[in-house]
Structure 1
């Protein structure tokens, strides 16, 4: 009975992914263009609209896609016609993501992004899935996460590729529009295999725990997140938005370009 129940739940989730694919297109056709309700950045739509005012062929990359819908920063953009690349190490979640975006110009890769081409262990815990051992141990301590760890956690081996290689193989253009990195404490590994100076995405959205109150006692995770933050700032970005877990960085050249354009219009 237990196996039958699991199969029913899997079938329900697959059907849900397909339903969301059609719902996304219907919403877009009706002129509803905004992030999913579970998106954690309340100002994301205004940030994207302000940054990308002109209608062009836009491109996003999301590392740590989960199911392509829940907590997604980009599903609404894919529905609106953006070309997208989703990177997701879980076989199960990448399958859900493909179904969610079956009507969109999206590629879903069942790999992880890291500092080098290798193999690694994914702790699959739903939306909290991580390849960071320090994060996994911290989730087993934090009240709001430990129950999910006990209930859902299972291990899976996954292929790891450098993000530089992934982007080159998928022919992602230089200065593409949005990069999202949501990998539950594995962010430093992702950025270690990624040349910011070479790719220079216009916006970067990344989860960083250095100012999250629940992680302040974990020096390893806090310092790692701070290094990632500083790496991005040193590459010529500024913080456009930040809360306790998400930060949106904007390349300084974009800011200067928008200012110059506005000045020309005013003149």
Structure 2
């Protein structure tokens, strides 16, 4: 842990400490594999940085925003980094780059394919720019880079989670864990009813809802389901990334 504070063993980069839950769940899984749809920044808000740094994982980062894609390409050269969006049909689409009013340039986590969501942000004073992006299906990404039974599928696409999950045969690919953002963008209102029934039918069980994301494990892995079932807490000995930065900790 270098020169870190011994009260802590882990920095949480995820905004809701989702990565702490994943490190706990996969603590004995070295060199695992993930597919991260809506990967975002390689550090701030990343659910996979700890898996990469601590457990030697590699994976596929899917990120249509050019500035975030470039950071991923520079900082994750051993991963596959794809500057595309994911939807039910391949082609091209308009992607809305959303920067909330008064936010720094790196706070782009609300960007979306959903025009209605973009319009809501315009009404709220956000700066919204349109980008044309290449669109592929999740199935095509998995065919190119994954193997059935890979470790983690994470989906955070601001209102298009149902389309992403519907664009692959998860009953065939059977990732061990699926984490999906499960509320209406910018709201605590649940949105999982749009896609959860199909996921459960593919052989998954809900492990945890943390107020923002829903964590699922395959129903044939009860131990993994148990490890995922508790949110990040004091026994995980973690500290938020922003606090670690201010304290100069090197965990």
TM-score by length of 2: 0.75
Report SS of the residue matched to 1:67. coil
Please show how residues 1-267 of structure 1 align to structure 2 within 5 Å.
33-36=10-13, 39-42=14-17, 44-49=19-24, 51-80=25-54, 81-102=56-77, 105-125=78-98, 126-141=108-123, 146-147=124-125, 149-150=126-127, 153-170=128-145, 172-209=146-183, 214=187, 216=189, 225-255=192-222
Total equivalences in the alignment? 214
Deviation digits for residues 69-121 of structure 1, max 9, x if unmatched?
2211111112231011100112222011112224xx31111111110111001
Question: 2:22 & 2:122 partners in 1: Cα distance?
Answer: 34
After TM superposition, give the deviation of residue 246 of structure 1 in Å: 1.0
Assess if the C-alpha contact under 8 Å between 1:78 and 1:106 holds in 2. Answer: no
The alignment yields a C-alpha RMSD, in angstroms, of 2.9
TM-score by length of 1: 0.71
Deviation digits for residues 112-158 of structure 1, max 9, x if unmatched?
111011100110121111001222233345xxxx34x23xx211100
Question: 2:188 & 2:22 partners in 1: Cα distance?
Answer: 27
Unaligned stretches of 5+ residues in structure 2: 99-107, 227-251
Which structure features the higher share of strand residues? 2
Aligned pair in 2 of structure 1 residues 40, 232: CA closer, same or farther (>3 Å)? farther
Aligned pair in 2 of structure 1 residues 230, 33: CA closer, same or farther (>3 Å)? same
Which structure features the higher share of helix residues? 1
Assess if the C-alpha contact under 8 Å between 2:30 and 2:57 holds in 1. Answer: no
Question: 1:131 & 1:251 partners in 2: Cα distance?
Answer: 29
Q: Which has the larger radius of gyration?
A: 1
Unaligned stretches of 5+ residues in structure 1: 1-24, 217-221, 260-267
